[in-house]
Chain A
Amino acid sequence: MRPQRLPTELIKGNTKTLVLAILREGPSHGYGITHEIERRTESAVSFRQGTLYPLLHELEREEMIIGKWEAFGDERPKKIYTITEKGLAELANGLDAWKRLSKAIMQVTNEAPYEPSN
């Protein structure tokens, strides 16, 4: 069974962390990033794909990622993004904040940490 889609406002604040986490594992283009996020979350995290590019360009301006145009055969050139040291540091901060928030919520609600059932 497919997991239920997460509320958009929950995803919005964490898209940057998700994108950086995907790029930590290797360079990718915009389509590859959205596809990978949806694949790994079984479409629980799914957003309007057009909203990714403002974020990618913002990360590029902030030097957290580097974009480079590359051509594959006769296909249209694609911009491939690679994470930088600054991006890795931002990712570590984002993950840390998320873990602390998640732990705090669990402590308040007395819930056990979520473990997916196989």
Chain B
Amino acid sequence: MSPVTKAKPDATEYRLFTGTPVPENLLLEQYIAAMDRVLQGSVPDSTRRDLLEETQAHLEHAVRTGLERGKSLLESTQSAIDRYGPAKENALDYMASWFQSESRTPMTRKVGRANLISYGIFQMLVVIYYLILQIHVFLPGESMYRIPFSPAQVRDVWPNPLPFPDFSARFFILIGYPLLAPLLGGLIIGCLIPAKAASAVYRGLMPLILISFVMGALLLPMTEGLLFALLQVAFWLPVGCLTAHFSSNLARSWRCRAHVASAISLEHSHSLEK
């Protein structure tokens, strides 16, 4: 069977002016599809359709204006898209604005819904860590445990490998929890916040880091508090932001796939009914 070849349409075949049918414009279609892929499943259908319709009307108007000024179809489409901005970025901006608009309380409206969610989750993780530390302090294990090594202790073991001070479950919880907490926090935040989750983590975590530094300064000469604040800056912040970013992207693509699958199955059941 010979392959079916489709003749490439000439620019003049596109009829864009008033009173004529809307032309086929592959670049515009691709642009709208790219926006749709980001929005599907994360934004209500009616809102998404409104935005895509408006975007398409806007871009077609811009293309038409370009053609009227003597530009080719490709040039005017490219220029319209350039001026409109990247599809994914625009869709994410819209999603972030929509997510914020769903705020119900004055507090979320003022501080930002995404920021407050992020702050709340990390605050909870910090409180859990403090509770673990309290248990450790008031129910001391059999072996000695100290997070910061004194210079003398470091000098004693360096460059030899650091020995494991303890193999108890409590030791692994105390060390493992602060290492896993930002991953867990980022994961939850990414699933809850559909767009710009990393910046929400940054805004939510910064006040907590400042509080940790103040607490750490108050706890001096014990250095554990300051060490925890440093751990938050050097580890929690970057890891939390990155995890939230990737988890948000992943959750969005899952939602999109689930939405498409449900739309297909709905259409299939309708066709079977007919």
Contact = CB atoms under 8 A, between A and B. Distances in A.
A50 B19 contact: no
Interface string B11-47: 0000000111110000000000000000000000001
Interface stretch (B51-59, B213-221, B232-240): B51-59
A70 to B, nearest CB: 11
Interface stretch (A2-10, A51-59, A92-100): A51-59
A66 B182 CA distance: 43
Interface stretch (A14-22, A74-82, A83-91): A74-82
A57 B98 CA distance: 9
Contacts of A48: 83-85, 89-90
B50 interface: yes
Contacts, number: 77
Interface residues of B, number: 28
A76 B54 CA distance: 9
Interface class of chain B by DSSP: helix
A54 B47 CA distance: 11
Nearest to A56: B54
A87 to B, nearest CB: 16
A63 B274 CA distance: 42
A49 B58 contact: yes
A30 B61 CA distance: 10
A105 B268 CA distance: 64
For this complex, into which size category does the number of interface residues on chain A fall? 20 to 34
Given A31-B58, A50-B89, A53-B55, A58 B84 contact: no
B93 A54 contact: yes
Interface string A37-56: 00000000000111101110
Contacts of A79: 50, 53-54, 57
A79 B61 CA distance: 13
A24 B57 CA distance: 22
A50 B57 contact: no
Contact of B57 (A58, A61, A74, A78): A78
Contacts of A53: 51, 54-55, 90, 94
B57 A77 contact: yes
A76 B57 CA distance: 6
Given A31-B57, A50-B90, A76-B57, A61 B18 contact: no
Given A50-B90, A73-B19, A58 B85 contact: no
A31 B94 contact: no
Given A51-B90, A72-B18, A30 B98 contact: no
A51 B85 contact: yes
Contacts of A50: 55, 84-85, 89-90, 93-94
A66 to B, nearest CB: 14
A100 to B, nearest CB: 22
Given A73-B19, A79-B50, 14 more contacts: A29-B61, A31-B58, A31-B62, A50-B85, A50-B89, A50-B90, A50-B94, A54-B96, A57-B94, A57-B98, A58-B101, A74-B21, A76-B57, A79-B54
Interface of A: 29-31, 48-51, 53-55, 57-58, 61, 72-79
13 contacts: A30-B58, A31-B57, A31-B58, A31-B62, A48-B83, A50-B89, A50-B93, A50-B94, A53-B94, A57-B47, A57-B97, A74-B20, A78-B54
